[in-house]
Amino acid sequence: MLRVPPTATNMAEWLRLAANAINGVIRRIEGGAVELKPMALPADPAKGTTVYDVADDKVKTWDGATWQAHF
């Protein structure tokens, strides 16, 4: 998730904060890998939420109605 602090006092400062946030995301996914931390399925997921379900040992995505396993 990308979060830019709303503390900028002008556009140049906001752009600097946004660039720092984006660069942090890029560093975390460099090499094409995204790390999913094992967790239980959330009770009220947003459509497109993807998690590693510890109960089934599967990666799943919420399609708006049900959890879809990736494998």
Q: Taking the alpha carbons of 39, 44, 50, 53 in that order, is the dihedral positive or negative?
A: positive
pLDDT average, residue stretch 16-44: 77
List the domain range (segments joined by +) for residue 42: 36-71
Same domain, 1 and 26: yes
Q: Structurally, how many domains does the chain consist of?
A: 2
- Per-residue model confidence (pLDDT) at position 39: 84
Residue-wise pLDDT for 31-62, tens only, equals 666 777 778 899 999 988 888 898 998 999 99
What is the separation of C-alpha 48 from the centre of its chain, rounded to a whole number of angstroms? 10
Q: Choose among 35, 66, 65, 64: nearest CA to 52.
A: 35
**24 and 43 co-located in one domain:** no
Whether 3 has a pLDDT exceeding 60, the answer reads: no
**pLDDT more than 90, % of the chain:** 15
pTM for the full predicted model: 0.52
pLDDT confidence of residue 5:
57
Residues 20 and 51 in one domain: no
